[in-house]
Structure 1
Amino acid sequence: MHTLDAELDTARRIARQAGAILLEVYATPFAVQDKAGGMGPVTEADERANAFIVEALRTAFPSDGVVAEESDNSAGASRFERCWFVDPMDGTQEFVHRNGEFAIHIGLAMGGKPALGVVYRPVGDRLYWGVVGQGGFVEDATGRRALRVSDTTEPSSLRLVVSRSHRSRLTDAVAQRLGITHSQACGSVGLKCGLLAEAAADLYLHVSDKSYRWDNCAPEAVLRAAGGILTDLGGTPYSYDGAELQNHRGLLACNAAAFDRVAPVVAEFARESGILR
């Protein structure tokens, strides 16, 4: 079996180097532009990190596909058995607000399924990585620890992590139905999934269609490596075969123990609110 050690080492190195680029811009009075089509803010940091990561991956793995947020992705990732999904900065809002909760996502999909993920938070130098089926780790100033999701099964005991900049009524309604009373806010999708992977939270919902495969490929790989689950709001896993890049059906991330009790409730609310047709 292919261990993906070389891919993991390369992705970790590239993520740290890209993190240095983000921090370089972060320390300056950078300008913020609005992306075309209402896709949110973009800065020089996103664009510089994007160019660096894409070039580094193409050099290291010339026969793989690369899909990245700030690139032209019309070339058709579906032609590749192996495809990298890159978000050079997930949480640009957090970067703009200077709260530190932004991360670099580098994920590798093989045969349309997430295989490897690296999520790096430059502020605080915190690195999550995982290989699906082989486990994952988090590394920071205190050392390296194995990732493992919680085994909480009772929905009302679950700790919900919500978006810092996009809190939604639907999420609140689901939490109420499940009896959840504990929630915390966090920026990047990758950092939220990281909290689940290290058992510091148990459930995350993204209830809009405004996310893309590069947002969740690396986080999903890290979460699955830690024993968790990431699907759309209907409980169906996303495919990373390059045919569709937008997550039209939102995101549900959960520990495995509670998933079967949580997923039907989430799906019901998502259908009522029209996110699931």
Structure 2
Amino acid sequence: MASFDTELDTARRIARQAGDILLKIYATDFSVQDKAGGMGPVTEADERANEFIVGELRKAFPSDGVVAEESDNSADGKRFERCWYVDPLDGTQEFVNRNGEFAIHVGLAVAGKPAVGVVYRPVGNKLYTGVVGQGAFLEDDGGRRALRVSDVAEPSELRLVVSRSHRSKLTDAVAKRLGITRERESGSVGLKCGLLAEATADVYIHTSGKSYRWDNCAPEAVLRAAGGILTDLGGTPYSYDGAELQNHRGLLACNAAAFSRVQPVVAEFARESGIVR
């Protein structure tokens, strides 16, 4: 099995340096634009961090593809066996709202499957890392520790993590059916998956079809490395082969113990609402 030590060390360094770029802009009176096509807000921070991360990855791994949110992504994923998926600022709305819950995602997919993931939250200095099949870790001011998802299997005992800025009726319906009463809010997709990897939450459901592979490649690698599962709402894993970048069928992240009981309920509601056909 490939060790991916060089890839992980490089991604960690790049994410931390990109975090410094974000924090410098975060401390200023930055301006916010709306992306074309109703894709949400974008700031100078997204664009500068994107340029830095892509440039560093191309220098370090010139034979790999790079797909990044603020770049032209039409070709790279299809052409390369190894492709990096980058979200330079996941949680731009959280950045704009200044609540600290935004993250940098740097993920490597090999043959269409997530292999290496780094999710870095600059505010609070939390760095999640994972190599699928080799373990996940959290590095913060308290040191470095191994991560493992919870083993809670009973649906009514699960802790649901929900989006701070996008409340979903479908998520509420699923929670009611499963008897889930405990929930917490978080921003970035990566930070939500990080909470699952830390075993401080157990399930996350993203019901919109408007997320993209750069939103979930790094988080999925961290979560799978910690023993968790990430699929679409129908229970099918996403492929990172570049053929499709949009996650039309939403996201379901769960610990492994409860997945087989949660997923059919999620799929049923997703079919009823037309997200999954």
Match of 2:79 in 1: 79
Q: CA deviation at 1:143?
A: 1.3
Q: Deviations over 1:212-247 (max 9, x none)?
A: 000000000000000000000000000000110000
5 Å matches for 1:122-201? 122-201=122-201
How far apart, in 1, do the equivalents of 2:198 and 2:143 lie? 14
Runs of 4+ in 1 over 2 A off after TM superposition: none
After TM superposition, the score normalised by the length of structure 1 is 0.99
Q: CA deviation at 1:151?
A: 0.1
What is the total number of aligned residue pairs between the two structures? Answer: 277
Q: CA deviation at 1:75?
A: 2.5
5 Å matches for 1:191-270? 191-270=191-270
Q: CA deviation at 1:127?
A: 0.2
What SS class does the counterpart of residue 149 from structure 2 fall into? coil
After TM superposition, the score normalised by the length of structure 2 is 0.99
Identity of aligned residues (%): 83
> Where in structure 1 are there 5+ consecutive unaligned residues?
none
Q: CA deviation at 1:16?
A: 0.1
Match of 2:121 in 1: 121
What SS class does the counterpart of residue 114 from structure 2 fall into? strand
Q: Deviations over 1:133-187 (max 9, x none)?
A: 0001001111111010000000000000000000100000000000000000000
Match of 1:111 in 2: 111
Match of 1:91 in 2: 91
How far apart, in 2, do the equivalents of 1:75 and 1:241 lie? 10
Q: Deviations over 1:199-221 (max 9, x none)?
A: 00000000010100000000000
Q: CA deviation at 1:2?
A: 1.7
CA contact (8 A) 2:75 2:242 kept: no
How far apart, in 1, do the equivalents of 2:263 and 2:49 lie? 36
What SS class does the counterpart of residue 161 from structure 1 fall into? strand
CA contact (8 A) 1:76 1:243 kept: no
> Where in structure 2 are there 5+ consecutive unaligned residues?
none
Q: Deviations over 1:86-116 (max 9, x none)?
A: 0000000000000000000000000000000
What SS class does the counterpart of residue 247 from structure 2 fall into? coil
User: Aligned partner of 1:259: which letter?
Assistant: F
How far apart, in 2, do the equivalents of 1:167 and 1:111 lie? 34
Kindly report the root-mean-square deviation, in angstroms, between the aligned alpha carbons of the 2 structures.
0.5
Match of 1:29 in 2: 29
Q: CA deviation at 1:70?
A: 0.2
